[in-house]
Structure 1
Amino acid sequence: MRLFSILAAIVAALAIYAFVFERAWLISVLPGADAPAPTTEVVTKSEANAEEAPARAAVRVVAIHSRAQDIGSAVVLRGQTEALRQVDVRAETSGRIVSEPLRKGAFVETGQLMCQLDAGTRQAALAEARARKAEAETRIPEGEARLAEAEARLVEAQINDTAASKLSESGYASDTRVAGTRAALSAGKATVQAAKSGLDAARTGIEAAEAAAAAAREELARLDITAPFAGLLESDTAELGSLMQPGALCATIIQLDPIKLVGFVPETDVNRVEMGAPARATLVSGTEVTGAVTFMSRSADPQTRTFRIEMSVPNPDLAVRDGQTAEILVASGGTPAHLLPQSALTLDDSGTLGVRVVDGPVADFMPVTLMRDTAEGIWVSGLPDAVDVIVIGQEYVIAGVPVIASYRDDNATDNAAVPGTKAEAIQ
């Protein structure tokens, strides 16, 4: 038995040697060696298999036809609400409060009385000023009459002086007479000057009396402290009987309709914000308000290098209060972007975020930039205007791998609402 096993092993080894190393000689000695060898048929099948190899190596994927659409982008800011106007109404004169106080939270109209001071002797001061004016006015006719009389005497003195001078030249008048007429002329001039001064003093008295009367009326007007604009009282008005001095606080009033929202734009985004741009703000309470940009600072804050912007928001029910924190979104110009399913995003070997696309017969990788996340999908930029994005199978291919793509009809971008205006950009 052992000899048979050894012989069988030797025969098997010789057969393998002949089949591997002496294959051509073995075929020639076998029966049917003169028949045509099936070499050509074998080669033809090999070539056919070689041609079909790329098709079998291609990966089947699902893609969508995506086109870029202009979407509005928004500048996101942190800010707060501010009253349109806030004023501390203070007294301009001294006096005791004689009016009942208004309580904080009350709404006051423009010109409504908030604090009234005791008049004291101010009415008497006004009456005295008026009396002085009347007295000064009565002196005007008397002063004018005196001036006319002095001017007449001056004319007479001039005539007498001229006549005496001519007679003295002819020897018919003495030097004494000439000196007398000249003295009378000088006295006449002095009288005229005095009359003019008296008349000017009377007129000055009238002006002084008018100024005193105006000051008295102004002082009386300061007794009534009124609201400079319609708004809410943030504090009680001064209590009845309290003594007010110039500069003492009567009340604080704020105007909340419309209300301002203030934010600060970094210098990298300041050129994206325009005057009049629509904006939306969400308060910490969840309230959403909309408005437009009404102010943009031209000077940056020296500490933060940010620019102040303001937006005006209607607030007829006064629901929005002063000092509430808000997240502000200001619409800016549109940007081309693609709306894709979130599952289409992938990473390349270097960790770059992007998508796999169909580029002819092979796959390719394109990096993208995230724009906005919505319920319909994610908006990305950085792709061509028209591109075929792989949405199923992107994790099994890399750039250059052959793919066979089938296209989905329910493209995420087909039924998507594309915000094309600045107002829709902040929705």
Structure 2
Amino acid sequence: MRIVPLLIAIIVSFALYFFVFQRDTLGEMSGSTQPSVETTDATQEQADVNAMAPPANRDVTDKPVVKVVAEHSVAEVLDSAVILRGETQAARSVNVSAETSGRVVSAPLRKGSYVEEGQVMCQLDVGVRASSLAQAKAAVAEAEVGLSNAQKLAKGGYAAETNILTAEAGLERARAALAQTEQDIANLTIEAPFAGLLESDTAELGTLMQAGSICANVIQLDPMKLVAFAPEAEVDRIEVGTLASARLLTGTQITGRVTFLSRSADPTTRTFRVEIEVPNSDFAIRDGQTVEMAIRSEGKSAHLVKQSSLTLNDEGLLGVRIVDDAQMVAFVPIQVLRDTREGVWVAGLPERADIITVGQEYVRAGVPVEPHFEEIN
């Protein structure tokens, strides 16, 4: 009966041998059939992290189909406009001044009055100019007689040719003096150079005026000029003759055309002067009002999208996410052209695009989606 303890001793010896000397071989044999605890824990941890991450940040190798809401969008031609802010200016504004001295003998015209071209605004007293005119006319007559006598004497051989030249010179001096006197008398009547409104009273009756004294200020308000300054980035989009619309702070809407575009920039602001001419027959537009102008330029192909559809990519670029032909998400950078109550007009999208409107923040480029399209009213 001693054989049983002997067999047990042999088995224990073999077990100790393999445990001590062949432990690596046993580990390899065990690993081929069951994963290690560390490997299992790491795999489970990665799966848990991937499951907790937002869909846009999950591993791209795991691509579940995401349901999103999208809408069909077709590009339209949007009338692009250059928006400028400026002011109204009278087409003409002149301080009408006296060209000679004299006392005002006409009743004054009050500011706000409308004057026609050539209408008398200030009449100065003739004074002694009437006598000067008569004297100048007599001098001309005398010089004419003197020239005639010199010509007769020279023809008969009783006078030299130089006498004729002297007489001719005297006649020209007399005529010049007469013309100067007549012009001086004409300058006593100060007339409106053009039709317009008086911005000041004309000179008061009895006022002594000198050459250069102002009789009145006249402005022409029809047509009216709208003046603004365009920045360098916008000036190439403006052309002379282009239709433009404008809005005053009072809400009045007016239209006109660009009549002037400066070729030289302001040295301080680096902007270019733009002038627009608009009709103002009723004088409703005043000189110096603030005005916002929209100058029409070449249209652009654009899409009207909801503001909530706009998003940023990882690089911080503004754009929208769309569904491509393969039912995958694609990010398209856009350029905002105009903001309206209905949405935002943007450029940069293809002619036809399926824009994701709900769920765009939970997907990223390359993720497969199942779009449900909105009905556009």
TM-score by length of 2: 0.80
Q: How does 1:40-55 map to 2 (within 5 A)?
A: none
**The one of 166, 181, 184 aligned to 1:201:** 166
Aligned mate of 2:292, from 327, 334, 339: 327
Which range is displaced more, 332-341 or 252-261? 332-341
- Which deviations, in whole Å up to 9, do the C-alpha atoms of 1:1-21 show, x marking residues without a partner? xxxxxxxxxxxxxxxxxxxx9
Identity over aligned pairs, percent = 55
Cα contact 2:147–2:171 (8 A) shared by 1: no
SS at match of 1:118: coil
| Mapping 1:21-420, distance limit 5 Å | 57-150=64-157, 194-359=159-324, 360-410=326-376
Computed over aligned residues only, the root mean square deviation of the Cα atoms, in angstroms, reads 2.1
- Residue 400 of structure 1 aligns to a residue whose secondary structure is coil
The alpha carbon displacement at 1:56 in A equals 10
| CA distance in 1: counterparts of 2:218 and 2:371, whole angstroms | 69
The Cα offsets for residues 187-223 of structure 1, whole Å up to 9 and x where unpaired, read as xxxx6xx432222222222222211111111011100
TM-fit CA distance, 1:288: 2.0
Shift of 1:63: 2.0
Residue by residue over 1:336-395, the C-alpha shift from the partner in whole angstroms, topping out at 9 and shown as x without a partner, is: 211122232223344432111002121122121111122333210111222211123323
- Whose Rg is larger? 1
SS of corresponding position for 2:177: helix
Letter of the 1:247 partner, please give it.
Answer: G
1:47 aligned residue: none
Report the 3-state secondary structure (helix = DSSP H, G, I; strand = E; otherwise coil) of the residue aligned with 1:205.
Answer: helix
CA contact (8 A) 2:96 2:214 kept: yes
3-state SS of paired residue (2:257):
strand
Deviation per residue, 1:110-155 (Å, 9 max, x gap):
00000000001112111111111112222233222211221xxxxx
Write 1 or 2 for the structure with the bigger share of helix.
Answer: 1
Q: Matches of 1:351 and 1:196 in 2, distance apart? A: 99
Residue of structure 1 in register with 2:18 after alignment: none
Contact 2:63 2:367 in 1 (8 A): no
SS in 2 for 1:148: helix
CA distance in 2, matches of 1:287, 1:341: 30
For 2:154 and 2:319, locate their aligned partners in 1 and report how far apart those are by CA, in whole Å.
104
Determine the C-alpha separation between the residues in 1 that align with 2:360 and 2:167. Answer: 104
Corresponding residue SS for 1:321: coil
Residue 57 (structure 2) aligns with: none
Distance 2:276 2:371 in 1: 50
Residues 301-335 of structure 1 deviation map (CA, whole Å, 9 limit, x = unaligned): 11111111100011111111111111222111112
Deviation at residue 403 of structure 1 after TM alignment: 0.8
Separation in 1, partners of 2:150, 2:367: 117
Cα distance, 1:58 vs. partner? 1.2
In the alignment, what sits opposite 1:424? none
Q: Whole-Å Cα distance in 1 between the matches of residues 116 and 102 of structure 2?
A: 24
SS in 2 for 1:401: coil
Secondary structure, in 3 states, of the residue corresponding to 1:305? coil
